[in-house]
Amino acid sequence: MKRFLAGRPVNPIGLGCMGLSHGYGVPLTEERAEDVLLKALDLGYDHFDTARIYGVGRNELLIGRVLGGRRGEFLLASKMGIILDDGPRRIDCSPATIRRECEKSLKALGTDHIDLYYMHRPDYTVPIEESVGAMAELVREGKIGAIGLSEMNATTLRRAVAVHPIAAMQNEYSPWTRNVEIAVIEACAEHGVAMIAFSPVGRGALCGELRDVAGLYEGDLRRPMPRFIGENWAHNLELIDAFVAIAAELGVTPAQLSLGWVLAHGDHLHAIPGTTNLAHLAENVARMDWRPDAATVARINALFVPSAVHGHRYPEALRQQVETEEFAA
């Protein structure tokens, strides 16, 4: 059953496109990335999520080149605010930068309209009201269809909706990352905002296939993440193995269990798993309408109580760039 996002019905599972250009494992060839995108459309994916920072523009160029001819078949989402293409990495969501970055994305994507455009990270130097006001101008001009926020807290969301309707809040959410349960899921429901869960399969960890984190590709984003390091990983792997066993009992894959668990938390929830594997691409939507029952959700919640997972989801430098509420230590 479809759910509404930015004013239109879409399947509750979309495709996070970052990994097609960078992030996890050995980078794909252009041909392989093209295969994933086209196969996704054929499988019924109708929500594709990218960002200016993904591959420093390469991901948007890829999507524009490969999917431009089928633009009417999907909701297109992109993001701005993390700047890397003209100097050191920084966060900049000032009005002038928002407009400049939007124009870059429109050109790269080969379109005159982005359905859903996100502020990728909070900019602590610019009031959220100014950033949302600038994005509202882009809505009025027809360059974007709706406004989204990412990795922000409930307080910021409420300040933002006072300026302009917000269509979506995109934050990390999975059985082992549950910060949004503190306040964001409820705030989204209160204001009619879709909650978009990125990394809903725990950056691949909850599939149960990853064992040797030391063997990850040198440029893999997970290598410096505390959860994937040393004793933290050894401990977390025990939790993951228990999760995999629950999935086996239910006759679903661990990825399907993770996605079903996310979507069971409200009709305003969406999930955007990413993958470079064609089999996983099909697996993620094969049981799209399946949900675990309340007893199973409670069992998973008990397994992954926030205090049970060892290590923060981000290294310290990146942790300072997000404002999602934190559970007490």
**Mind telling me the catalytic residues?**
54
Evaluate whether 84 touches 53 at the Cβ level (below 8 Å): yes
Token pair belonging to 261:
């668990």
Output the DSSP codes for 161-209: HTTS---EEEEE-BTTB-GGGTTHHHHHHHTT-EEEEESTTTTTGGGS-
Can you tell me the distance from the alpha carbon of 310 to that of 145, in angstroms, rounded to the nearest whole number? 40
Strand order in the sheet with 269-272: 15-16, 47-49, 75-80, 116-119, 147-150, 168-172, 194-198, 269-272
Lookup result for tokens 């934050």:
171
List all residues 6 or more positions away from 75 whose beta carbon is below 8 Å from its beta carbon. Answer: 5, 6, 8, 10, 14, 46, 47, 48, 115, 116
Output the DSSP codes for 90-117: EE---HHHHHHHHHHHHHHHT-S-BSEE
Q: Which amino acid is located at 187 in the chain?
A: A
Q: Which amino acid is located at 73 in the chain?
A: E
Lookup result for tokens 């955007």:
272
Nearest of 79, 142, 146, 138 to residue 108 by alpha carbon:
79
Can you tell me the distance from the alpha carbon of 281 to that of 117, in angstroms, rounded to the nearest whole number? 24
Can you tell me the distance from the alpha carbon of 105 to that of 285, in angstroms, rounded to the nearest whole number? 28
